[in-house]
Amino acid sequence: MPMLIAGLTLAAGIGATISGVVGMAGGTFLLAMMIVLGVSAPVLIPLHAAVQLASNCTRVYAHREHIRWRPFFTLALVATPCPIVGLQIAAWLDFELTKQIMGVIILYAAWAPKRSAAALSETASFTIAGLLGGTLGVVVGAVGPLIAPFFLRADMNKTNIIATKALCQAYLHIIKIVAFSTVGFAFSEQWQKFLPMAAATIVGTYIGKWLLQRLKENRFRLLYKTILSALALRLILGAFFS
């Protein structure tokens, strides 16, 4: 157990640092590392949600002055009832096919020149993001890459993206945790793993913020799209490596 907790704590810190720089990918990295380290399937997504809530809340606080509130309220309003649907469809949904479809959507939304998610109105963009994030969060765990294209907008700079996306994801994790609580998951039994992982995300977030301040806007957007594309390709091709 001590070695497992040490590994999970290190992974949480690295993941939070990655997310602190580009606003995503850290949660996906942490989920993958939790699988590699042997976290059991029933614990995996609920524990990941709790740790990512700590990480995103820290990022919200660190960048609180850059939050865009209207996109958040749109996403939150739409996403709130969606985990109920997500829990219902999780049992019959083909997990690998779902990830591949997600990958195609992400890749298209990130790079399509005039028909990307960013070309939609703000309300339409964050309505769709709320539907996807709220429904699929309880199914696949890390939905950051799926909602990420909707934040890549001309009216948002890098700190707006980091702050607003962190707040949206924090809310998605809250409703996910509530959903798992209603079906009997005992979060109190995971405190030995959760507390050091949560502490590591706080440290990682501020390291990421320090690195973000040294990253130029155009390079941030290129890095954002590149990492988004890499994650999308991993989702599309994942079945071939499993």
Measured between alpha carbons, how far is 87 from 1 in angstroms, rounded to an integer? 30
Which whole number is the average pLDDT over 32-56? Answer: 87
**Which secondary-structure segment (H or E) carries 20?**
helix 2-22
Statement: residue 104 has pLDDT above 80: no
Break the chain into its structural domains and give their ranges.
Answer: 2-241
- Longest Cα–Cα distance in the chain: 51
Statement: residue 44 has pLDDT above 60: yes
Measured between alpha carbons, how far is 165 from 68 in angstroms, rounded to an integer? 9
- Cα–Cα separations (whole angstroms), residue 114 to 111, 146, 153, 225, 229: 9, 19, 12, 15, 17
Query: Average pLDDT over the chain, rounded to whole?
Result: 85
Q: What is the pLDDT of residue 110?
A: 64
Measured between alpha carbons, how far is 234 from 222 in angstroms, rounded to an integer? 18
**Most confident segment among 13-27, 103-117, 149-163, 218-232:** 149-163
Where residue 120 falls (left for φ over 0; alpha for ψ -120 to 50; beta otherwise) is beta
pTM for the whole thing?
Answer: 0.79
If one counts every other C-beta atom within 10 angstroms of the C-beta of residue 33, the result is: 17
How do residues 60-87 score in pLDDT, each as one tens digit? Answer: 999 999 999 999 999 999 999 998 888 7
Measured between alpha carbons, how far is 23 from 164 in angstroms, rounded to an integer? 9
Residue closest to 55 by CA, chosen among 191, 171, 159, 204: 204
E strand spans, the chain? none
Q: What is the pLDDT of residue 114?
A: 47
